[in-house]
Amino acid sequence: MDIEIIETEDGSHTLFSKTFNEIYHSRRGAIEESIHVFIEAGLKHVLANKDHINILEVGLGTGLNALLTALEIQTTPSQSIKYFGVEPLPVPVEITQQLNYEQLVAQEGVAELYTKIHESAWNSWESITPNFQLYKAHTTIQKAFVDTPTQDLPTFDLVYFDAFAPSKHPEIWNLEVLQQIRQQLSIGAILVTYCAKGQFKRDLKAAGFSLESLPGPHFKREMTRGNAI
Ligand SMILES: C[S@@+](CC[C@H](N)C(=O)[O-])C[C@H]1O[C@@H](n2cnc3c(N)ncnc32)[C@H](O)[C@@H]1O
């Protein structure tokens, strides 16, 4: 099997990909990292000013970010989310069924929600809850915007850039990919990522983002938030 389940320091599971020789989340804590980078610095920041938002995730993976996002929006029924997750290598359901997120996230309905996220169809918009719709795009980020029918492709307000590390997957962390993403964003859209590498930040600027450096998760010095200008 190309994928192995491992436990991170906050007790939550993550995966190790033998193909990429890389882990899906921080070894210091998968859930803690997702909450810090994507939910706190991304989702809550954008939801403070908008009632409906469209999210693009680069690397749907275990679906942990999607799960935490769906749980967060359940608490505010007057707001809604369309979530477009790109993933060329879907994690088999036999593996996602073994991940311990539902035991660790103490919110009602979490197990049903996680199952629904993984069992929903690929390449079409599916209603997961009354205010959370999901499109799982079975393709790469390099091809997602041409592979997806135009009527299914929204303009995004928030990007979770959660690819494998630049050293392990340099093809994704480049100016061309960022420019393609930028063209699909509304003005003022936000991109968040755990990465704070100099070359990536220069590419983000060149693609049309202003940058903020925020404290990273687990006492890491920095993470990055870009603002589409
Ligand atoms: C760091 S992991 C993602 C973690 C994920 N957000 C989660 O919460 O589990 C990176 C993901 O990017 C996916 N990926 C690999 N190549 C990709 C590509 N060209 N475009 C988009 N995603 C890709 C991997 O299969 C993997 O699921």
Ligand 1 binding pocket mutation candidate from 8, 24, 84 (most atoms within 8 A of CB): 24
Cα–Cα distance, 129 to 69 (Å, whole number): 12
Along the 229 residues of the chain, how does pLDDT read in single tens digits?
699 999 999 999 999 999 999 999 999 999 999 999 999 999 999 999 999 999 999 999 999 999 999 999 999 999 999 999 999 999 999 999 999 999 999 888 899 999 999 999 999 999 999 999 999 999 999 999 999 999 999 999 999 999 999 999 999 999 999 999 999 999 999 999 999 999 999 999 999 999 999 999 977 789 999 999 9
CB of 157 sitting under 6 A from ligand 1: no
Pocket test for ligand 1, best of 55, 86, 184 (most atoms within 8 A of CB): 86
78 CA → ligand 1 middle, Å: 30
Q: Does any ligand 1 atom lie closer than 6 A to the CB of residue 85?
A: no
Domains of the chain: 30-228 (3.40.50.150)
Cα(34) to centroid(ligand 1), Å: 14
Query: Which residue among 21, 87, 195 is best mutated to probe the pocket of ligand 1, counting the most ligand atoms within 8 A of its Cβ?
Result: 87
Q: What is the pLDDT of residue 94?
A: 95
What pLDDT score does 57 carry?
99
Closest residue by Cα to atom 27, ligand 1, is 61
| Residue 133: per-residue pLDDT | 98
Testing ligand 1's pocket by substitution, the residue of 136, 147, 169, 195 carrying the most ligand atoms inside 8 A of its CB is 169
Q: Would you say the CB of residue 101 lies under 6 angstroms from ligand 1?
A: no
CA distance 17 to 91: 10
Please tell me the distance between residue 163's alpha carbon and the centre of ligand 1 in angstroms. Answer: 5
Ligand 1 within 6 A of 226 CB?
no
Query: For residue 1, what pLDDT is reported?
Result: 63
For ligand 1, atom 19: residue with the closest CA:
140
Instruction: Record the pTM.
Output: 0.97
